[in-house]
Structure 1
Amino acid sequence: MSEIMRPMSFEQLLNWTLTEYKENGTVFGERHPYHADSKFNRTIFGRDLETPIGPAAGPNTQLTQNIIAAYYTGSRFFELKTVQVMDGDELAACINRPCIKADDECYNCEWSTELFVPQAMEEYIKAWFLLKVISKEFGLGSMDGFQFNISVGYDLAGIKSEKVDTFLNTMQHAQDSEIFKHCKAYLLEHVDLFEKVTAEDIESISGDICNSVTISTLHGCPPEEIEKIAMYLITEKGFHTFIKCNPTLLGYEYARKTMDDMGYDYIAFGDFHFKDDLQYEDAVPMLNRLIAVCQERNLEFGVKITNTFPVDVKQNELPSEEMYMSGKSLYPLSISVANMLARDFGGKLRISYSGGADFHNIEGIIDAGIWPVTMATTILKPGGYDRLCQIAGLLEKEGVVFTGIDAAKTEKLVEEAKTSPYHVKAVKPLPSRKINKQVPLIDCFIAPCKEGCPIHQDITTYLQLVEAGKYEEAMDVITEKNPLPFITGTICAHACMGKCTRNFYESPVHIREMKLEAAQNGYEALMNKLTAPAITKEGKAAVIGGGPAGMAAAYFLRRAGMAVTVFEKNDALGGVVRHVIPEFRIPGTSIDKDAALLEKMGVEVRLNTEVKDTAALKAEGFTTVILAVGASEPGVLRLEQGEAKNALEFLADFKANDGKLDIGKNVVVIGGGNTAMDTARAAKRTTGVEHVYLVYRRTKRYMPADEEELVMAVEDGVEFMELLSPVKLENGKLICEVMVLGDMDASGRRGVVKTGELKEIPADTVIAAVGEKVPTALYEANGINVNDRGRALVNEETLETNVENVYVVGDGLGGPATVVEGIRDGLKAAQAVIGETLVRDFDAETDEAVVYERKGNLEDVREDSTEAKRCLNCAGICENCKEVCPNRANVAIKVPGLEKHQIIHVDYMCNECGNCKSFCPYDSAPYLDKFTLFMDENDMADSKNQGFTVLDKDAVHCKVRFCGEILDWTLGEETKIPEALQKVMETVCKDYTYLLR
């Protein structure tokens, strides 16, 4: 049953670890081993520590395999998942599933180990032994180079309970426990499995596992209870002790203002936790008392920052009412608590840190004297545990001894956090990274960038060619599906980049810029070899409108061998891109090159020719007419008084007159889309204009404009006037009604509520960018049926109208859209006319070694590395679900006869945290939707997943659920089960027996 984790035996864990390493050079799927050097050792709690980092108490320290994966990749300080008196089934029943959402800032609604306390203890002791032996066997470091830190909560009575007390005592001195004896005996009996580990090494493994503890307290735990717990663990148990402190120490006002200023205004939390939790004025004297008690006993004492920050569920993030926030948004609060304590304790209070630590900030944290540092959110993202190896490498410094915390450095970290692009929230809500498809059982690897592109450009392929300097070949790939490489390389809305897996690392691969690089370097070679194809198709096509959609339709039709004429009413091709979008966005020379490519293909172009009668064209001998006339009807903004200028008219005038217009000093632009941003930026460049105000009834976050366009407007000095609704224009002022944001709906969009308050904005000219409309009258005049919104009714597959051989494409079909959507329409219509598929795919080559080396490593754009080198080639190797699973429950296997690695889900290792769902590029949840290996028939019966359980691995005999049916299958028998799935099950039985229980 998926939500119930079944710990593996020590024997299975050892077999899995050694076998996988021997056969694949990996450990639980991790490919970046960290080899520690003793010269970088530090000391804490009287023991060595090879690196000052590790996983925080949470999903990454709950099971033995999690701890092994973290150690292999560079962790040496392990804050084990919290244990408490409530455990096992009782606690698991309290956790809503899914319980983790880490796609940007992280949220969770789980808190302690879901195992029974004795099980948790066994997991940690098994991990203790396995880390000891693999450290030497795999050459990862010293057998004594890591430390376990136990975490307990949440009240003194629970900590004193028999099972938690037994846990504490055993973790201190485990020599006499049954699990310790079993692990040691098994290793000694099987010492022949090792090449480097000896019997003496195994005998030397100490049972003194933990000498430190971190106290976790629930929100609202009174200070006297916290102090009692600490005193008990210090004086009666003799632990070096950390107490977890929460950001609530900062006070509600500071936390709220910080979140609001950094763009997290949508994160909702009340002030009651700040009132009920430990108060700072109580914390300081309590901490001083505990410091003194520890000093008397030669024990180390400190605080752990941070515990959790509870926030309200407002957008169905998780199936609970309250959840705990962590990651990038928690960092500015956590580091603020650290700074406050460093300042007020003169740097003498030791701080163990968590709360948004990652590759981008960890050097600064540790350089300030704050360590050890434990992490969760960053290793819950693609790259997973492998991210730790790169982080560990950053921290290799000799002779580091804790002498205190530098308050000046922590204060600097606070200020940097508040403006860091890695912690400030994006201006706009993040686009969905999902593609609208269900994950298949087999061959699920896919390039999200390609799927997100309306024309399915072979992006990973041309990125590889650009990286290799093969620009001509890259242009061959690009122009196979895209006849406008310069236009799309400059102003494409790049939906591809919104889907890029690299977004979960640091920033997307700048795909658009790579296309432009290919165009700039490969254009001449392409033009030199292009020739107009022979006319091999019957009939002639007329394309009315020379914008992107019309240019694309003409290109594809002509390339397919049909005679094509483009009729353009203006003096040059390019449509809105040419005549409206300002020159500072895209130079005319770029548009000229795309137009020249079209003409080189043999397309006839008739400029300054407006056509309104499709029947007349047919009478002239054209057999096909494609209307690509754009959305040319101006949208109307109705004011109670005064009139607004239309945005497209203004932009055309601006471009025609090179910005030399008389529109006054103060200009108001109304709207929040991309056209509004272009309009505002053009107005800023208009002669005599001093102020440009952009008025919108919501805030920036809810404007429809692309974030890139919005940010450029801000950088140009456009003054955003948010939460205003225009009413009337009089006496050189635009009168607006002040609005306030209402509640969020499930989509995350907030409504607006009128306040009745008015505000005046100086306005010599008001320009309305409120959307353009399709030319309904033109359609009706040509007998084309329209819907109640005046849009042409077309066959969605072909874009043909009710008038035979007349098609509608581009903005004129559905209203203003993107250039690449216009290309998509042009291709769709051209393929319908020709009756053939007119483009082909180019598959990228997959160099596994190169791809796996890139995975887990964060890297911004650098001078010595092209953007293309940041591509993760997801179409060849994705494995996001494998990488982000804390428990390693999604496994990639090599199946003979199948080209790509295959993902199977291992049911007994999964607790349905749901993290893989966030990062699967499909609109799916791998833990529910991938082919699943069940431990036994009972577990299979408790699940609805398609999958199998092995009844006899030698005979390859399995019980299988496929398409809702339960089948009994043995290799070689006739079956309805697809051959690829048969191969998967055969491979598990023969090559991955360590997966079987």
Structure 2
Amino acid sequence: MSDKMTCMPFSQLMEWIRAEHDTKGTVFGVHRPYKADASRSLTIFGRNLETVIGPAAGPNSQLAQNIAASYYAGARFFELKTVQIMDGDELAACVNKPCIKADDECYNCEWSTELYVPQAQEEYIKAWFLLSFMAKEYGLGSMDGFQFNISVGYDLAGIKSPKIDHFIESMKYAGHTDTFRECRQYLLEHAEEFGRMTAEDIEAISPDICNSATISTLHGCPPQEIESIADYLLKEKRMHTFIKCNPTLLGYDFARATLDKMGYDYVAFGRFHFEDDLQYADAVPMLKRLMKLSASLGLEFGVKITNTFPVDVKAGELPSEEMYMSGKSLYPLSISLAAKLSQEFAGRLRIAYSGGADAFNIERIAGCGVWPVTVATTILKPGGYQRLLQMAEVLDDMGMKPFDKTDTEGLIKAAQDAVCDRHHMKPAKMPASRKSSEKVPLLDCYTAPCEDACPIHQEVSTYMRLSGEGRYEEAMQVILNENALPFITGTICAHGCMSHCTRNFYESPVQIRDTKLLCAGKAYEAALSSLEPAKSCGRRAAVVGGGPSGMAAAFYMARAGVQVTIYEKRPVLGGIVSSVIPDFRIDDTVIAKDVSFLEKLGVEIKCNTQAPPVSELKRAGYDSVILAVGAYKRSSLKLEGGTPVNALAFLEEFNETKGTIRPGRNVVVIGGGNTAMDTARAAVRCPGVEHVYLVYRRTKRYMPADEHELLQAVADGVEFRELLAPARMEKGALICRKTTLGAPDASGRAGVRETEETEKIPADMVIAAVGEKVPADYYEENGICVDEKGRPKVDSNLGTNVPGVYVIGDGLNGPSLVVKGMADAKTAAEAAAGKPVSGHRSSPAVKSDVYARKGILAEPSDKKEAQRCLSCSTVCENCVDVCPNRANISVHVPGMEKEQVIHVDYMCNECGNCRSFCPYDSAPYLDKFTLFAKEADMEESKNDGFAVTDQAAGLCRVRYLGRMHTVNAAEAKELPEGIARLIETILKDYTYLISS
């Protein structure tokens, strides 16, 4: 596989657009077009502009199809990817691949077009014709309603070189170029096939493609050089001109303080660029001179904010030493620079914008008179180009006004708001990987990450959809199919499903847990009445322990016809959820509803009852015994000077006394997990407590607690004391050693080094949340073999060496999640029942409904969350969305339920963006079935895929599982049926993909 893109002929591009539009109603995978209203058109550079947004000079404005996809989705201002004297193979040798990482804030290590400059020129001219065609033929707007803006760099000598000079002149007037003539001739020859576009329209396509330029300068370019380039473009080329300005104009201290405040303290950069780049004191007089010059020439001049923000590669983000940061972390710097320059020039300086713009802030930016606005990061995320539509519609609703001057006060307010805007701040914790451990399959790769991440694999997409339709009873039946404890999990589940939700790449995850609880509440009575004791399967089982795992095991087995008895030593079921988790998080009335399901199924519940030994239970006639005893052996942390109170003991007393215990004025909690958060939040509520300090040897970012629990502790007033390691206890104080963070350890968290420096924290009570241990003694007393850590040895069904005895939940491997214990319960229950304990109730969503939600940013609101759910098990296509070049294609194969994804090798430059967003542990550009332009390309690749050797005869050369085949697609018995049908479909219905 090569990282060199092959430019498609204009004929192929036209055939592709027309065929895809006519058969699927899409263009290059974009489903919903933007149709401009001519009455809203603005003017810039003396030309019309239907809306002020488009792709920034970057991966989304490099090839003709990229520009066409942008236009269809809503772009009208196109900052074409930068050209410079170094191009083609010479430049490619300087760019390491992959070169884009956009899963949160974005990084890239490429900067100019990877094509040769003449190729770039051809792509831009072809795109000019494609947009003109779509505007007229599909009624998307006026043929003169969009503008191209060339980006040139990086020094005057290069810009004046014959190669770049020819490019500039050809973009100013393309009528003399072969490409322009060929594109026009193709359209004229096919004019009779078009529905709206006439020969007169084609002849009217202007050869005056571009009359504006944006100067892109490398970091360290001296002000004299920048001004000389602008002077040249204005005077000699008579082009309206923007200069890209870097956030380094703000100064190192401002940038460092801003990013630190917003949680980007790990982003590394030095003072070098701030000292070597254009200085603010030099920039202001230069800009004033250029404004005066442009006015005298009757041309428009301004700045483009911002260019790039260089940072160091510290964690292997990209295979480079330095990379450029963009997206949500760049926005606060970019908008601050816009505000500063607006204030400096009293709003008279024209400002174009790029730097973290998206649907959430576009109205603020453009509403301050800062436009055009070009974007890159947002359209590199799921939803892709389709995100442009929402931005265009926001601007239409707002009602854009002609440029008069920038709104300084509005920009200052936007800059102030940016540093505390959750859409731009880094989350309190580093996001965990959202990928499954599986490799992406060649076919049917659609998967819902929420369902994969859930230990019991709840059919989330289905019950979300039913909930959205108001069908709560049906939704509840889907939930109960896999989930024995909808009220407990709907209240306190750690919701790994939400952590993996694709919506995290948009804004906030779908509120899956809340929706589950909503359905449970709405349909409780109906669900309860629908449950009846199942027909007996002739088996009996005892469950020792009535915590969540034991309750779940009893539910699953009873529903399968097993006669079940639960032994619980406490007065009520619920285990640690009832006895330890504070009542302000979940109380016994919630747990009682899940208990009622067990009672309705006929489960015998013996509370206040110590279970007999396993041997007695077996003699009593139980075929199976499931031990769900939990990790009840409490650990302790021994420090010099004393032993802290155990967190679980504290929480249990807190619940028993209804929160009336008095630990003193100052409480210190040691730990960073969910139990530590519960403990600290409980302590805050105790009478007489003035301060609760939570001590942890790393920072919040590396705490194991769920982010939601951590933020609730912050909101409750818990005072976090980070980078401290407990050393000793003194009367009224805890002495800690200060720590520093080092390189990541094997867990991915930063390593910790203790220093000799100490800090004294007031402490009337010290509580340690240090984890619990499994009861090895209990297991050994019952004849169960344990390992060196005291954990019971079990098989794949969680069975022990004692026949018919199983161990589940926290007592198996130590404290874990409620839902993980439920997964154990399900495994053991199926073994005990001898049959499955749940079925399949999933059903697909309507595909058109899913496509209608793609690319729309929307936070949770009073609307139903189902409207935000992307139904990934029906439609994933993340790799299709995020590919700038459209090299991942969704293919409809007749007879197959799901669309299939094929990778087109000749369109790919191995940017790697699809790797970030594939829910599998895979990179689609390497791992999906691939269409090659020719056999030689396939020989350079290891991808499974095919090259068409004789299109008319249907002959192909195919690599499948590493073996080569020569096949006729219609009779390819050497291949799996699905692969053969996929190839046959490409040859029959997607001929425009086959490169000539």
Question: TM-score, length-normalised on structure 1?
Answer: 0.99
Match of 1:812 in 2: 811
Change (3 A) 1:289 1:900: same
Match of 1:239 in 2: 239
Question: Partner of 1:163: helix, strand, or coil?
Answer: helix
Q: Which whole-Å deviations, capped at 9, do the CAs of 1:588-624 have from their partners, x for residues lacking one?
A: 1010010111111111111111236211222222232
Q: What is the CA distance between 1:859 and its match in structure 2?
A: 1.4
Question: Partner of 2:445: helix, strand, or coil?
Answer: coil
Change (3 A) 1:747 1:270: farther
Q: What is the CA distance between 1:985 and its match in structure 2?
A: 0.8
Task: Output the CA distance in 2 between the equivalents of 1:257 and 1:31.
Answer: 42
Task: Output the CA distance in 1 between the equivalents of 2:348 and 2:744.
Answer: 45
The 5 A counterparts of 1:74-473 are 74-396=74-396, 398=399, 400-473=401-474
Question: Partner of 1:395: helix, strand, or coil?
Answer: helix
The 5 A counterparts of 1:547-566 are 547-566=547-566
Equivalent residue for 2:989, pick from 985, 988, 991? 991
The 5 A counterparts of 1:472-551 are 472-538=473-539, 540-551=540-551
Q: What is the CA distance between 1:542 and its match in structure 2?
A: 1.2
Task: Output the CA distance in 2 between the equivalents of 1:612 and 1:263.
Answer: 54
Q: Percent of aligned pairs with the same residue?
A: 61
The 5 A counterparts of 1:723-742 are 723-742=723-742
Query: 1:639–1:729: 8 Å Cα contact kept in structure 2?
Result: yes
Q: What is the CA distance between 1:154 and its match in structure 2?
A: 0.7
Q: Which whole-Å deviations, capped at 9, do the CAs of 1:208-259 have from their partners, x for residues lacking one?
A: 1111000001111111111111111111111111111111111111111111
Query: 1:936–1:949: 8 Å Cα contact kept in structure 2?
Result: yes
- The reply on whether 1:699 has 2:699 as its aligned counterpart is yes
Task: Output the CA distance in 1 between the equivalents of 2:178 and 2:457.
Answer: 59
Partner amino acid for 1:898? M
Q: What is the CA distance between 1:746 and its match in structure 2?
A: 7.8
Task: Output the CA distance in 2 between the equivalents of 1:377 and 1:536.
Answer: 58
Q: What is the CA distance between 1:687 and its match in structure 2?
A: 1.6
Task: Output the CA distance in 2 between the equivalents of 1:619 and 1:73.
Answer: 71
Task: Output the CA distance in 2 between the equivalents of 1:892 and 1:88.
Answer: 30
Match of 2:643 in 1: 643
Q: Which whole-Å deviations, capped at 9, do the CAs of 1:382-436 have from their partners, x for residues lacking one?
A: 1111111111011125571111111111110111100001001100011211111
Query: 2:367–2:400: 8 Å Cα contact kept in structure 1?
Result: no
Question: Partner of 2:481: helix, strand, or coil?
Answer: helix
Q: Which whole-Å deviations, capped at 9, do the CAs of 1:664-722 have from their partners, x for residues lacking one?
A: 11111111000000000001111211111111111111111000000000000111111
Match of 1:882 in 2: 880
- Between 835-844 and 258-267, the greater mean CA deviation after superposition: 835-844
- Between 595-604 and 705-714, the greater mean CA deviation after superposition: 595-604
Task: Output the CA distance in 2 between the equivalents of 1:229 and 1:974.
Answer: 60
Q: What is the CA distance between 1:910 and its match in structure 2?
A: 0.5
Give structure 2 stretches of 5+ with no counterpart: none
Task: Output the CA distance in 2 between the equivalents of 1:314 and 1:23.
Answer: 47
- The reply on whether 1:31 has 2:27 as its aligned counterpart is no
Change (3 A) 1:662 1:972: closer
Q: Which whole-Å deviations, capped at 9, do the CAs of 1:254-275 have from their partners, x for residues lacking one?
A: 1111111000111111111111
Q: Which whole-Å deviations, capped at 9, do the CAs of 1:777-807 have from their partners, x for residues lacking one?
A: 1112222222222211111x21111222211
Query: 2:2–2:941: 8 Å Cα contact kept in structure 1?
Result: yes
Task: Output the CA distance in 1 between the equivalents of 2:711 and 2:69.
Answer: 40
Question: Partner of 2:971: helix, strand, or coil?
Answer: coil
Task: Output the CA distance in 2 between the equivalents of 1:30 and 1:618.
Answer: 63
Change (3 A) 1:746 1:551: closer
- Between 741-750 and 625-634, the greater mean CA deviation after superposition: 741-750
Partner amino acid for 1:425? K
Q: Which whole-Å deviations, capped at 9, do the CAs of 1:534-569 have from their partners, x for residues lacking one?
A: 32233x211110001111111111211111111101
Q: Which whole-Å deviations, capped at 9, do the CAs of 1:631-681 have from their partners, x for residues lacking one?
A: 111121111102211000010000000011121111111110000000000
Query: 1:954–1:990: 8 Å Cα contact kept in structure 2?
Result: no
Question: Partner of 1:571: helix, strand, or coil?
Answer: coil
Match of 1:928 in 2: 926
Query: 2:350–2:405: 8 Å Cα contact kept in structure 1?
Result: yes
Match of 1:949 in 2: 947
Query: 2:571–2:607: 8 Å Cα contact kept in structure 1?
Result: yes
Q: What is the CA distance between 1:835 and its match in structure 2?
A: 2.6
Partner amino acid for 1:922? Y
Query: 2:462–2:845: 8 Å Cα contact kept in structure 1?
Result: no
Question: Partner of 2:760: helix, strand, or coil?
Answer: strand
Task: Output the CA distance in 2 between the equivalents of 1:15 and 1:623.
Answer: 68
Task: Output the CA distance in 2 between the equivalents of 1:546 and 1:604.
Answer: 11
Question: Partner of 1:151: helix, strand, or coil?
Answer: strand
Match of 2:593 in 1: 593
Question: TM-score, length-normalised on structure 2?
Answer: 0.99
Task: Output the CA distance in 1 between the equivalents of 2:343 and 2:748.
Answer: 39
- The reply on whether 1:803 has 2:797 as its aligned counterpart is no
Task: Output the CA distance in 2 between the equivalents of 1:454 and 1:586.
Answer: 22
Question: Partner of 2:964: helix, strand, or coil?
Answer: strand
CA RMSD of aligned residues (A): 1.2
Question: Partner of 2:351: helix, strand, or coil?
Answer: strand
Q: What is the CA distance between 1:2 and its match in structure 2?
A: 3.6
Query: 1:35–1:141: 8 Å Cα contact kept in structure 2?
Result: yes
Task: Output the CA distance in 2 between the equivalents of 1:942 and 1:862.
Answer: 50
Partner amino acid for 1:709? E
Task: Output the CA distance in 1 between the equivalents of 2:589 and 2:747.
Answer: 42
Q: Which whole-Å deviations, capped at 9, do the CAs of 1:704-755 have from their partners, x for residues lacking one?
A: 1000000000000111111111111212111111112223458652122222
Match of 2:842 in 1: 843
Change (3 A) 1:974 1:64: closer
Q: How many residues align?
A: 994
Task: Output the CA distance in 2 between the equivalents of 1:518 and 1:200.
Answer: 60
Match of 2:683 in 1: 683
Task: Output the CA distance in 2 between the equivalents of 1:908 and 1:279.
Answer: 43
- The reply on whether 1:868 has 2:866 as its aligned counterpart is yes
Question: Partner of 2:759: helix, strand, or coil?
Answer: strand
Match of 1:581 in 2: 581
Question: Partner of 2:985: helix, strand, or coil?
Answer: helix
Question: Partner of 2:131: helix, strand, or coil?
Answer: helix
Task: Output the CA distance in 2 between the equivalents of 1:110 and 1:191.
Answer: 40
Match of 2:832 in 1: 833
Give structure 1 stretches of 5+ with no counterpart: none
Query: 1:41–1:398: 8 Å Cα contact kept in structure 2?
Result: no
Task: Output the CA distance in 2 between the equivalents of 1:161 and 1:784.
Answer: 81
Task: Output the CA distance in 1 between the equivalents of 2:519 and 2:255.
Answer: 47
Match of 1:966 in 2: 964
Task: Output the CA distance in 2 between the equivalents of 1:215 and 1:580.
Answer: 63
Query: 2:844–2:873: 8 Å Cα contact kept in structure 1?
Result: no
Task: Output the CA distance in 1 between the equivalents of 2:718 and 2:198.
Answer: 71
Partner amino acid for 1:467? G
Match of 2:669 in 1: 669
Task: Output the CA distance in 2 between the equivalents of 1:2 and 1:441.
Answer: 20
